[in-house]
Structure 1
Amino acid sequence: MTSEITLFVNPTAGRGRGAHAAQPAARVLREAGFSVRTVVGADADDALVRARAAVAEGTGALVAVGGDGMVSLALRAVAGTTTPLGVVAVGTGNDFARATGLPVRHPAAAGERIARALLDPAGGRTLDLGRAGDRWFATVLASGFDSRVNDRGNRMTWPTGRLRYDLAMLAELAALRPITYRMRLDDGEERELAATLIAVGNSASYGGGMRICPGAALDDGLLDVTVVGPCDRATLLRVFPRVYRGTHTGHHVVTTHRAARVSLAADGVSAWADGERVGPLPVTAEAVPGAVRLLG
């Protein structure tokens, strides 16, 4: 394995923590004997091109420095290859790092974990990923109420930060109505159902700790599916806080499933995965066992 490591940096992650976090992580890796170079793209598309080039050139590892969005972008470069992934989690949500027990907002500690895994021939662990078309995801693919909040929030130019999504949620609550889905699990029959949202989890949480698919595991070759059925605003507001504890699955409006492949269709609904827009439904998500080697 080459001793050159590529840091894949989002300078804006965690309100500027990304740029600062790269420095202690790089220092630890250099002290461990690795040569470190940094990739920062002009935008997401440019960054992905540069990351894929680093992988094609044989970098020893691609280390995503940022949040879940940066991890998702890095997966598009390394998934299905022999290049391992490292994560220095300094974003806002960091759901993937929490799901895998990696240090959160401790870049030096993350660098140490990555260095140890690289120096150990048996270091790292192989994890499953979800794939929807050409998009890989590590955490959750969302559709319905939650994806509409994301859609609306990203269209808003004011206010900035978390408040924008709080206002987007209030607006979507005011417009809350059941969505008619068509869903197929594996090779079963397609069935029509009304739901508020359907989430497909490779791991348990999204949105900074909302355990929407609390039983999801990263090494079972399956996706967990959480369906929140039709409900009024009062019921949704009662159920939603329980998502942070993962106890919402006990509510009568919530059903859960497990499958290797999940197909969803609905009019006027987008899918989001790892906090990034995938595109409008229909979409088919599948579990890909052992798709990535994670360092640390």
Structure 2
Amino acid sequence: MTRPVTFLVNPAAGGGLRPAAVQEVVAAFEALGGDAEVVTSPGADALPDLVAAAAASGRVVASVGGDGMLSHLVGPAAASGARLAVVPAGRGNDFARMLGLPGAPADVARVLATGTTRAVDLVAWQPPGAPAERLVAGSVYAGIDARAAVLVHRMRRTPGPLQYPLGALRAIATYAPGRFRLDIDGEVHELDAGMVVVANSGFYGKGMHIAPDAALEDGVLDVVIVAAASRLRLVRSFPSIYDGSHVRRPEVTVLRGRRIRVAADPAPGRGALDVGADGEPLGVLPALDAEPALVEVRPAALEVLVPDLSRG
């Protein structure tokens, strides 16, 4: 008998088309002797109680969806001590990519049945005045990429593989740089930038290798800063983000730290700068004359199931 697993399914993942794939994973998992329970998420507010109940029963919690679903589960899983598994069924699946997880149902089921546990870092986000921090798995970002995520969420008829590239190009076409202030472990940087990414995971935006040196177990966050540049230059450099070579471009700076305070003013005539995490909107960044938002690493905060490479 393999470990018991509660599958928490996001019915809207992948545009509402992919969650049906959980049926194949469950069938393969049960064929391996697994104890499966499938729960369709009634909404983000209900997830903490569902995770806590599964953890109290000694069950693994499987996130069935994309990075957005995962972003609502990692906090409750870390708080309750639940082991988390990832069944990639969303648009991007970037955290699954970072973990080296398979996508085929039979292979996913094998990880659920025989995988090993890995303790990974998380990112804590807390804007000024918020009563509590929010934990996310991959990255927190502001500027062009946050705007692109908003545009992707509005796409209903665009084919999935084109959504992130088109969203990014449309965001670049209308962008104006903001004035950012970053306090990274006490060292202050103030500059004009098109986007700033505080990354735990190396990937976002459906395979964009935004932080190629990022690691999930190093207790440090990579801060990727794309300085103000012309729209044409940004468009021309956009393909390099997929293989990580963008970090060698002169307009890109990568810093590292554990505790980052961030605030920003938009370009004149523009609204406040959007901020997001793992494909989900978080609101807007505080202005330079306000208390900054706080982004921190939470080392080894979450236990996740990954393939057991010793099994061959």
After superposition, residues 111-260 of structure 1 pair within 5 angstroms as 111-117=109-115, 123-133=116-126, 134-154=133-153, 156=154, 169=168, 171-188=170-187, 190-260=188-258
Asked whether the 8 Å contact 1:18–1:65 carries over to 2, the reply is no
Unaligned runs of 5+ in 2: 127-132, 266-271, 287-292, 307-312
Letter in 1 for 2:281: R
Deviations 1:177-203 (A, max 9, x none): 221011110123x33211010011101
SS across alignment from 2:80: coil
Asked whether the 8 Å contact 2:217–2:299 carries over to 1, the reply is yes
Shift of 1:226: 0.6
- Percent identical among aligned pairs is 37
State the alpha-carbon separation in 2 of the partners of residues 271 and 221 from structure 1: 23
Shift of 1:3: 5.0
Deviations 1:54-88 (A, max 9, x none): 24533421001121112222212202432101111
Shift of 1:25: 2.1
After superposition, residues 265-280 of structure 1 pair within 5 angstroms as 265-267=263-265, 268-280=272-284
SS across alignment from 2:146: helix
State the alpha-carbon separation in 2 of the partners of residues 171 and 209 from structure 1: 18
Greater shift in the superposed pair: 200-209 or 280-289: 280-289
Segments of 4+ moved more than 6 angstroms: 163-167
Distance 1:3 1:247, change over 3 A: closer
State the alpha-carbon separation in 2 of the partners of residues 217 and 209 from structure 1: 16
SS across alignment from 2:59: coil
TM-score after normalising by structure 1:
0.87
Letter in 2 for 1:231: A
Letter in 2 for 1:194: D
Deviations 1:205-228 (A, max 9, x none): 101011111110011000001100
State the alpha-carbon separation in 2 of the partners of residues 141 and 87 from structure 1: 20
Shift of 1:50: 4.5
Distance 1:3 1:233, change over 3 A: closer
Letter in 1 for 2:145: D
Asked whether the 8 Å contact 2:196–2:225 carries over to 1, the reply is yes
Alignment RMSD, CA only? Answer: 2.4
Asked whether the 8 Å contact 1:220–1:289 carries over to 2, the reply is yes
Asked whether the 8 Å contact 1:176–1:232 carries over to 2, the reply is no
Distance 1:244 1:168, change over 3 A: closer
Distance 1:59 1:24, change over 3 A: farther
TM-score after normalising by structure 2:
0.83
Letter in 2 for 1:290: A
Asked whether the 8 Å contact 1:128–1:288 carries over to 2, the reply is yes
State the alpha-carbon separation in 2 of the partners of residues 116 and 159 from structure 1: 38
Distance 1:55 1:68, change over 3 A: same
